[in-house]
Amino acid sequence: MYLTDTKRAILRALRHGALDQFQIAADITEAPFLVNAELQGLKREQLVKFEYTRSGREWNLTDRGARIAWSNEQLELGGNR
């Protein structure tokens, strides 16, 4: 599976809890419409899921998405040896 830089940034942003697309966009400094499109792609790949809350739609990692989000970090850290 190929992850764009934006998708990787979204997964990193969601590692610590659920966020809406506007919070993610602000965190990774991308346009909200681009973040929404990338979230839809990640949802199709079953890496993220959403639920409706009082504040709107919040996105979170699936178990598979969490493994990938944290494994990318481990690979980056391991490459510095």
- Cα–Cα distance between 21 and 30 in angstroms, integer? 10
- Cα–Cα distance between 34 and 40 in angstroms, integer? 10
Q: Model's pTM, two decimal places? A: 0.84
Question: At the top level of CATH, which class does the domain 5-78 belong to?
Answer: mainly alpha
29's CB contacts (< 8 A; 6+ apart) are none
Judge whether residue 74 has pLDDT over 90.
Answer: no
- Cα–Cα distance between 3 and 54 in angstroms, integer? 31
The 10s digit of each residue's pLDDT in 16-72 is 999 999 999 999 999 999 999 999 999 999 999 999 988 889 999 999 999 999 886
Give the side-chain half-sphere CA count within 13 A for 22. 3
